[in-house]
Amino acid sequence: MGGRVCQRGLRWHGDTGGAGEKGHGGYRAGMGGRGVSGAEGCQGAWGRRGAEPLRCLPSIRSVMQKYLEDRGEVTFDKIFTQKIGYLLFRDFAFNQAEEAKPLMEFYEEIKKYEKLDSEEERAARSRHIFDHYIMKELLACSHPFSKSATEHVQSRLSKKQVPPDLFQPYIEEICQNLRGGIFQKFIESDKFTRFCQWKNVELNIHLTMNDFSVHRIIGRGGFGEVYGCRKADTGKMYAMKCLDKKRIKMKQGETLALNERIMLSLVSTGDCPFIVCMSYAFHTPDKLSFILDLMNGGDLHYHLSQHGVFSEAEMRFYAAEIILGLEHMHSRFVVYRDLKPANILLDEFGHVRISDLGLACDFSKKKPHASVGTHGYMAPEVLQKGVAYDSSADWFSLGCMLFKLLRG
């Protein structure tokens, strides 16, 4: 017997949007139906003289908007960092918000630049961006960005420095401009209605154990086991983390289990290749199940114990990927708090991912002050009880971990 994915979904009369399956661009589902709302929902209620009026039913948009607002999900940062949210906001900016179009064009050019591998390609692209999106606007006296952002880019280019984050000040200012009135117009548009429909579909996906072919155990933890599994309809391999409800209750781990699911949901948007992300979550009468990216290359603690310390070249490579994973978390206001070799897993190609978000914490509204983590890797501010901290704690842990891997 299976349960609903993540949380109980919402469905109303008039909504025929069926459950979908996660695909490359979001969720595929039937979106043919509409919620009945407003005058449209009441039309015909008074059709027969003397008939009792029918109660108007809320639309999917209104109920889903309240549902998302209650969970702090209706913000620019939350929507813009989700793939379906970004695509709908982009569509709105290019077709319905004239003032947002140049900002989005500039943003996408910078993102293309950041993905370039070679310094030669970045040098050519950076000059193109500077000429067409910065200098051109400066000459026309219509440059909407700060002088400091321009000076930052100019000074780097004059020294022939073209790092991937060259235009980061512009990214921050673009997002700041989009957060205001433009985002409010998006919330009032039909694109946000479509976003609410997709979120409703997402909440109504049904999965059971029968949707997966479960293989051997590949790991054990305090609350359960991790299995290799294959999704029946797509054939894709995953790791299935099964938490035993009885063990969770005995060890009073309900808060930890719920927190892990919430943190996985926060960091799994954006397709970060350096975090073990969650694709699905469901429950049965006995188990809580997370369907995660499959990592079959072991962890850094195992490789350290089997093969000894790592070389500096290896550590530069691993550190770069771990830093990108941490930055992805921090951009979503999540502090990891448990960085250590045992939590860094390798895939079949030798790339690393950060795993096990049981101790991670959302600091978007309030900074944490709990002293949690693994001794030997905890930052001083985390060890001091009652002292608030943020993402900076992870950078101290990273330094401790790199020293351990280099020196043993």
Binding site for ATP: which residues?
241
Residues designated as active site: 338
Phi, psi angle pair for 163, to nearest 5°: -70, 160
- Separation between Cα atoms, residue 84 and residue 30, nearest integer Å: 16
Other C-beta atoms closer than 10 Å to the C-beta of 117 total: 8
Rounded Cα gap, residues 203 and 395, in angstroms = 35
How open is the CA angle 394-398-403, to the nearest 5 degrees?
155
> What is the H or E stretch that residue 245 is in?
helix 245-250
Backbone angles phi, psi at 299, to 5 degrees: -120, 170
Annotated binding site: 241
Which residue reads 């609350």 in tokens?
A: 223
Sequence-distant (6+) residues with CB within 8 A of 91 are: 191
Amino acid in position 295: M
150 Cβ partners below 8 Å, 6+ apart? 134, 138, 143
CA distance 112 to 337: 32
Q: Which two tokens stand for residue 385?
A: 């009880």
